[in-house]
Structure 1
Amino acid sequence: MERAIVHMDLDTFFVSCERLNNSKLSGVPVIIGGGERGVVASCSYEARYYGVRSAMPIKMALKLCPEAKVIKGDMEMYSKLSRTVTEIIEEKAPVVEKASIDEHYLDITGMDKFFGAYQWTEELSTAITKHTGLPISFALSVNKTVAKIGTGEAKPKGKKEIQQMGVRSFLNPLSIKKIPMLGDATFQLLSRIGIRQIYTLAEMPVEVLQQMIGKNGREIWKKANGIDHSPVEPYSERKSISTEHTFGMDTIDIPKLRGLITGMVEKLAYQLRAEQWLTSTVVLKIRYSNFDTETKQCRVSYTSADHTLSQTVMELFDKLYNRRMRIRLIGVRFTNLVRGSLQINIFEDTQEMVSLYQAMDKIKNRFGADKVGRASGFRFENKKNR
C-alpha cells in the first residue's frame, strides 16, 4: 500500500499570532525579535520582500526595511496557540508527529479507502484556520521528506499533492537547498563542483557523495531521490528534564556547590537546545544531611540559554540555602517545556551571544557535551574525575 504522509506548516507562525491580537499588523512588514542588537526570530512575507530573514541582526533588518514594525514576541501565546492546533489535528488524524512549534506530520495511510486523503487534509486545514484564525499550508505525498519540501513550495496558504509517479519530476528542478538536513556548508561544497539542482545530486554515485561529505551522504542522496522510510512518530510532549548529584561526603563548600550547579545547568541547557526545547520554569532541589528536602522554583521567559538559566538557579540557591547545614544532594530541573530553538526564540539575546552558543554546541556535538563550558562549571567536575 502506498503511504499517505501529510506535512502541515503554520505560515509565518509568530507573525500570524501577533496579527490575531492586532489587526493593524495585517499587510505591513513585521519583524519578531528583541532589541537593536538582537536577531530576527520571524518575519512577515512583506518584510521578506526586502530581504529580511530569520536569524538576521535586527539592525541589518531595519536597514533593509526601515518601515517594519518590530515586536518583541510572546512565546507563551505562541505555545498556547500551537497546543490548540495540535489538539485539533490529534482529534482527527490517526497518527500525528509534532515536529516543532508550528509543524506537524500526519500518517493517514489507508484513509483513501473511505474518502480522498487530499480532500480530508484540505478539510482539516480549513478547520484549523476557521477555529484559530491561523493560516496554514500543507503537502500530501508518499513520505516525510517529499511532503515537507512540498509544503515549502506551496507556501503561503498553499496546498499540494505529490503522488509517487510524480516525485522525481517534482524534486528534480529544485535547488539542493530544499533538501532537509543539507546545511550551508554542504551546499557551498556541492555548489563549487556544479551540483546545485536536486536532479544532479540524485544522479551522482552515492559512493562519491559519501566520500565528499561523510556518513550523511547516503541519507542526503536518498532524499534527493525521494526515498524516505522514516515513520511518523506518535507525538508525546516531554514534561521536564532534570539532573541530580549525591555527594560521597556531605558538603558545605559553597564554591564547590556553585561550580557543580553551573556545570549541571550547562549540560541541561545543551540538552534543551539539542532536542529543540525551551523551558519556562526552573526548579532547584536541596537535600540536607538529615534528609530534609527543600525545593524552590522560578518562572522565566522561555529560553534554553545557559547564562539566563544559570543566573536564575544561582538566585534560587541563595534564597533556598539558608540553614548552613551540610548538603547531601543537589538537583536542577527545567519544566513547562515547549518546542523551539535558541536561534529563533531567544528574543533578547544579541547576535554575538547566539553565535557563541552555536559555536559551543558545534564543539559539543563533535567532541562531547563535557569538552567545553564555563571555567566555574569545570572546577568541581575536574576534582571529581581525578
Structure 2
Amino acid sequence: MNRAIVHMDMDTFFVSCERLLNSKLNGIPLIIGGGDRGVVASCSYEARKFGVRSAMPIRMAQRLCPDVKIIKGDHEMYSKLSHTVTEIIQEKVPVMEKASIDEFYLDLSGMDKFYGCYQWTQEIASTVTRETGLPISFALSTNKTVSKIGTSEAKPVGRLEIKEHEVKPFLNPLSIRKIPMVGDATFRLLSRIGIRTIQTLSEMPAEVLEQMIGKNGTELWKKANGIDENPVVPYSERKSISTERTFSTDTMDVTALRVLISGMAEQLAYQLRKEKWLTSTVVIKIRYANFDTETKQCRVSYTSADHTLSRVALDLFNKAYTRRMRLRLVGLRFTGLVHGLHQMNLFEDTAEMISLYQSMDHIKNRFGSQAVGRASGFDFDNKH
C-alpha cells in the first residue's frame, strides 16, 4: 500500500493569533518577541521581506525593518488556539502526530479508496480556518520529509500534492537548506565542496557523506533521494515531568537542599528543551520526618529556561519549608506542558542567553546530561 503522509503547518502562527485579536495588525510588518535584547520568536511575511527571521536579535530586526511593530506575545493564548486546532484535526484523521505547537503530520494511507486523500486534507484545512480564523498550509506526499519540504514551498496558505513519480523532480532543484536536518554548519560544509542543491547531494555516495558528517550522512542521503521511512507517531499530550529524592537519612541542611533543588530544576529543564516542551507551572513537594507533606506551586510564563525555573523552585521551597524539622523527601514537578517551536522562552531571554543554552545542550547531548551545568546545581552528596 502506498503511503499518504500529510504535513500541516499554521502560517506564521503567533502572528496570525495576534491578528485574530487585532485586525489593525493585518498587512503590517510585525514581530513577536521580547525586549531590546531579546530575539524574534515569529515574524510576519511583511517583515520577512526586509530579511527579518526567527531567532534573530530584536535590535538587528529593527535595523533591517525600522517600521516594524513588536509585540511581546501571549503563549497561553497560542497554546489554547493550538489545542483547538489539534482537536479539529484529531477527530477527522486515523493517525495524527503533533510535531510542535503549530505543526502536524497525518497518516492517511489507505483512505484513497474511501474518499481521496487530497480532497480529505483540503476539507480538514478549510475546517480549521473556518472554525478558528487561522490560515494553514499543507502538502501531501509519500513520507514526512517530502511533505514537510512541500509545505514550506506551498506557503503562505498553500496546498500541494507531490505524487511518488513527482518526488525527485520536485526535490532536485531545491537548496539543500530545505532538508529539515541541514543546519548552518552542515550547509557551509557541503557548500564548500560545491553541494548546494538537493540533486547534487542525492548523487553523492552515501558512504562519502557518512565520512564527511558522521552517522547522519546516510540519513541525509536518503532524505535527498526522497526516502523517509519514519512513521507518523500517534499524538498524546504529556501532562508533566518530575523528579524527587528520598534521603537515606533525614536532613535539615538547607544549603544542601537548595543545591539539590537547583540541580533538579536544571536537569528537568534540559529534559524539557530536549523534548521541545515548555512548562507553565512549577510544583515543589517536601515531606517531613513525621510524613507530613507540603506542596507549593506557582504559574510562570511558558518557559524551559533553568535559570527561571530554578529561581521559582527555590522560592517555593522557602515558602513550603516552614518548620524546623528534618525532611525525608524533596520533589520537583513541571506541569501544564505545551509543545513549542523553540527550545526555550524566546519572549523573555536574550540572544546571549539562548546561545549559552544551545551550547550547554550541545555538550549535554554529546557527553551526557551531567557533563556541564551551573555550580549551584552540582555536588549534592548523598551523605544525608
TM normalised by structure 1 equals 0.98
Mapped to 1, the partners of 2:123 and 2:363 lie a distance apart of: 45
Query: Does the 8 Å contact 1:171/1:198 carry over to 2?
Result: yes
Task: State the secondary structure of the residue aligned to 2:61.
Answer: helix
- For 2:245, the equivalent position in structure 1 comes to 245
AA aligned opposite 1:354: I
Task: State the secondary structure of the residue aligned to 2:379.
Answer: helix
Task: State the secondary structure of the residue aligned to 1:185.
Answer: helix
Structure 1 residue 9: Cα displacement: 0.2
Structure 1 residue 153: Cα displacement: 0.3
Structure 2 CA distance for partners of 1:70 and 1:129, relative to 1, 3 Å: same
Residue 61, structure 1, aligned to residue 61, structure 2? yes
Task: State the secondary structure of the residue aligned to 1:231.
Answer: coil
Mapped to 1, the partners of 2:90 and 2:132 lie a distance apart of: 15
Mapped to 1, the partners of 2:371 and 2:61 lie a distance apart of: 35
RMSD, aligned CA: 1.0
Query: Does the 8 Å contact 1:176/1:198 carry over to 2?
Result: yes
Structure 1 residue 90: Cα displacement: 0.7
Query: Does the 8 Å contact 2:305/2:345 carry over to 1?
Result: no
Structure 1 residue 376: Cα displacement: 1.5
AA aligned opposite 2:164: Q
Structure 1 residue 87: Cα displacement: 0.3
Q: How does 1:84-95 map to 2 (within 5 A)?
A: 84-95=84-95
- For 1:135, the equivalent position in structure 2 comes to 135
Residue 8, structure 1, aligned to residue 45, structure 2? no
- For 1:201, the equivalent position in structure 2 comes to 201
Query: Does the 8 Å contact 1:342/1:354 carry over to 2?
Result: no
Residue 19, structure 1, aligned to residue 19, structure 2? yes
Mapped to 2, the partners of 1:101 and 1:246 lie a distance apart of: 35
Query: Does the 8 Å contact 1:364/1:370 carry over to 2?
Result: yes
- For 1:43, the equivalent position in structure 2 comes to 43
Query: Does the 8 Å contact 1:305/1:342 carry over to 2?
Result: no
- For 1:118, the equivalent position in structure 2 comes to 118
Number of residue pairs the alignment of both structures matches: 383
Mapped to 2, the partners of 1:272 and 1:331 lie a distance apart of: 17
Query: Does the 8 Å contact 2:141/2:147 carry over to 1?
Result: yes
- For 1:219, the equivalent position in structure 2 comes to 219
Structure 1 residue 296: Cα displacement: 0.7
AA aligned opposite 1:102: D
Q: How does 1:140-289 map to 2 (within 5 A)?
A: 140-289=140-289
AA aligned opposite 2:289: S
Structure 2 CA distance for partners of 1:229 and 1:343, relative to 1, 3 Å: closer
Mapped to 2, the partners of 1:31 and 1:345 lie a distance apart of: 15
Residue 320, structure 1, aligned to residue 320, structure 2? yes
Residues 128-151 of structure 1: CA distance to partner in whole angstroms, max 9, x if unpaired?
Answer: 101100000000000011000000
- For 2:30, the equivalent position in structure 1 comes to 30
Gaps of 5+ in 1: none
Structure 1 residue 345: Cα displacement: 3.9
AA aligned opposite 1:116: G
Task: State the secondary structure of the residue aligned to 1:92.
Answer: coil
Mapped to 1, the partners of 2:152 and 2:368 lie a distance apart of: 34
- For 1:346, the equivalent position in structure 2 comes to 346
Mapped to 2, the partners of 1:49 and 1:242 lie a distance apart of: 43
Query: Does the 8 Å contact 2:101/2:341 carry over to 1?
Result: no
Mapped to 2, the partners of 1:340 and 1:99 lie a distance apart of: 9
Structure 2 CA distance for partners of 1:257 and 1:342, relative to 1, 3 Å: farther
Mapped to 2, the partners of 1:362 and 1:260 lie a distance apart of: 23
AA aligned opposite 2:239: K
Mapped to 2, the partners of 1:11 and 1:40 lie a distance apart of: 16
Task: State the secondary structure of the residue aligned to 2:214.
Answer: helix
- For 1:103, the equivalent position in structure 2 comes to 103
Mapped to 2, the partners of 1:371 and 1:229 lie a distance apart of: 33
Mapped to 2, the partners of 1:271 and 1:88 lie a distance apart of: 29
Mapped to 1, the partners of 2:276 and 2:372 lie a distance apart of: 20
Query: Does the 8 Å contact 1:55/1:344 carry over to 2?
Result: no
Structure 1 residue 342: Cα displacement: 4.5
Task: State the secondary structure of the residue aligned to 1:379.
Answer: coil
Residues 207-255 of structure 1: CA distance to partner in whole angstroms, max 9, x if unpaired?
Answer: 0000000001111110000001111110000000000011111001011
Mapped to 2, the partners of 1:342 and 1:236 lie a distance apart of: 20
Task: State the secondary structure of the residue aligned to 2:279.
Answer: strand
Residue 83, structure 1, aligned to residue 83, structure 2? yes
Mapped to 2, the partners of 1:69 and 1:130 lie a distance apart of: 27
Structure 1 residue 293: Cα displacement: 1.1
Residues 89-110 of structure 1: CA distance to partner in whole angstroms, max 9, x if unpaired?
Answer: 0111110000000000000111
Structure 1 residue 384: Cα displacement: 3.6
AA aligned opposite 2:243: T
Query: Does the 8 Å contact 1:4/1:107 carry over to 2?
Result: yes
Structure 1 residue 341: Cα displacement: 4.8
TM normalised by structure 2 equals 0.98
- For 2:291, the equivalent position in structure 1 comes to 291
Mapped to 1, the partners of 2:258 and 2:115 lie a distance apart of: 61
Query: Does the 8 Å contact 1:283/1:313 carry over to 2?
Result: yes
Query: Does the 8 Å contact 2:72/2:347 carry over to 1?
Result: yes
Query: Does the 8 Å contact 1:279/1:338 carry over to 2?
Result: yes
Mapped to 2, the partners of 1:68 and 1:343 lie a distance apart of: 25
